[in-house]
Copies of this chain bind each other. A is one copy, B any other.
């Protein structure tokens, strides 16, 4: 029993040490494990099943919007990475270099892809000829490597899993529409599947992707009030096209450069899932993406008919939900804790007395609410309750976000607010990089985005005091 007990007791309470709580949850819920190589995690079955469900949802949206999956090489020759100057400046300092193949040193270093823009560009330059070839709407699911020094499971890794979409278009307008469309797919993924409310906006030049003309982002707020960038969508204009010579003949036969986008969402989002919905008992998963939505725990399994009845319920529920039945010989209380740790949205308890009364007990993971229902109502009530949980999780997160969103008129006020309670802070900004740097220095806050929903919380830049119309969401971020 000792080992079993440990599993449940070992979580550090959130309020005591949020970072420790986070690490405890991702390890104890068996989402991942450390490997012996720093920054490289092992995605265990439960963590990977979560990623698979996210992939399934997104991949269907990608295909509905006309995208096709491809797979580019893992390694990029140094000379190719160096072609676009801003891009290489952004990535070269943090890549892993392959210098030896088999027993021979390589004549040119190869980097393990940190992102694949240059590979797509090189390929497109070869295959694109006419306007009829456009647009090309590609995506790939892969892992990338960035040699990060400070790493945390899911949030920042030397290796992480993601999808990277890459598209080229005949016109600026088409490329811009794509950039925004894919940002909206990310919004949908976060809000509808993961129950994570997000703020949409544009990144400042400082926070922009290396080589992009514009980077759009969705930002969410974790339970501790820190911000997390959930996904980004980049508009490149024809910058890469000019460097890589990706041209097409338009209807008049005139050569034109293509306009390009890329967009990515990574396993970081699993970190967001944990930190938005989790509590001191572990994970809390939104039903729509939970690998297991309902766990059935029979009470007094040795009593005649209990396991049989529980199995019958499982077979019935299988048709309307993803269900697991645990008939192992562990104690019910231990099972309750284990599946709470794993964030299973709904628990069904069934014992001899329930069978007598033709009822079952439903217990919600999110608020522990118990409901007794007739067994006859099972197929109707369970999906209903799952949808209610999904909605309530979103509302709760939205409420937290609203409660933790304030505004500031000066850098000092911003700092004081954030020192007291982390969150999103609205503050005006003149557009000057120097002011953005100064805010970072004084308030330890970064610009999360220029939100699409602009409002006027003040008249002047919180740093230099110059009049401005531009609102920035500031915060301390993962």
Q: Write the residues of chain A forming the contact surface with B, with a CB cutoff of 8 angstroms.
A: 3, 33, 35-37, 40-45, 48-49, 51-52, 68-77, 80, 93-103, 109-110, 112, 119, 122-123, 126-127, 129, 138, 142-143, 145, 147, 158-159, 161
Known contacts A68-B45, A75-B37; A100 and B99 CB within 8 A of each other: yes
A367 CB to nearest chain B CB (Å): 30
The answer to whether B97 and A99 touch across the interface, beta carbons within 8 angstroms, is yes
Oligomeric state, in copies: 2
Cα distance A37–B126 in the bound complex, in angstroms: 15
Known contacts A98-B96, A101-B96; A48 and B73 CB within 8 A of each other: no
Cα distance A69–B48 in the bound complex, in angstroms: 7
A199 CB to nearest chain B CB (Å): 30
Question: Would you give 29 A-B contacts (Cβ < 8 Å), ordered by A?
Answer: A3-B129, A33-B126, A36-B77, A37-B73, A40-B75, A42-B119, A43-B70, A43-B71, A45-B69, A48-B68, A48-B70, A71-B143, A73-B159, A74-B112, A75-B112, A75-B145, A75-B159, A94-B102, A95-B102, A97-B98, A97-B100, A97-B101, A98-B98, A98-B99, A99-B99, A99-B100, A101-B147, A101-B158, A112-B112
The answer to whether B98 and A35 touch across the interface, beta carbons within 8 angstroms, is no
The answer to whether A161 and B71 touch across the interface, beta carbons within 8 angstroms, is yes
Q: Which residue of B lies closest to A132 (CB)?
A: B328
Known contacts A70-B48, A71-B43; A37 and B97 CB within 8 A of each other: no
A212 CB to nearest chain B CB (Å): 22
Q: Which of B33, B37, B94, B96 makes the CB contact (< 8 A) with A77? A: B37
The answer to whether A74 and B159 touch across the interface, beta carbons within 8 angstroms, is yes
Q: Which of B48, B98, B145, B147 makes the CB contact (< 8 A) with A71? A: B48
Known contacts A37-B110, A126-B33; A71 and B42 CB within 8 A of each other: yes
A137 CB to nearest chain B CB (Å): 9
Note all chain B residues with C-beta closer than 8 A to A138. 45
Cα distance A97–B98 in the bound complex, in angstroms: 5
Q: Which residue of B lies closest to A76 (CB)?
A: B37
Known contacts A112-B74, A143-B74, A159-B73; A122 and B35 CB within 8 A of each other: yes
Note all chain B residues with C-beta closer than 8 A to A73. 35, 37, 40-42, 159
Q: Which residue of B lies closest to A109 (CB)?
A: B100
Note all chain B residues with C-beta closer than 8 A to A142. 143
Note all chain B residues with C-beta closer than 8 A to A110. 37, 96
A-B pairs with lowest CB-CB distance, top 4: A45-B68, A40-B73, A43-B71, A97-B100
A262 CB to nearest chain B CB (Å): 16
The answer to whether A74 and B145 touch across the interface, beta carbons within 8 angstroms, is yes
Q: Which residue of B lies closest to A44 (CB)?
A: B70
Note all chain B residues with C-beta closer than 8 A to A100. 96-97, 99, 109
The answer to whether A123 and B43 touch across the interface, beta carbons within 8 angstroms, is no
Q: Which residue of B lies closest to A145 (CB)?
A: B74
Cα distance A277–B96 in the bound complex, in angstroms: 41
A376 CB to nearest chain B CB (Å): 31
Cα distance A147–B102 in the bound complex, in angstroms: 6
A34 CB to nearest chain B CB (Å): 9
Cα distance A71–B52 in the bound complex, in angstroms: 11
Note all chain B residues with C-beta closer than 8 A to A122. 35-36
Known contacts A33-B127, A35-B123; A70 and B42 CB within 8 A of each other: yes
A37 CB to nearest chain B CB (Å): 6
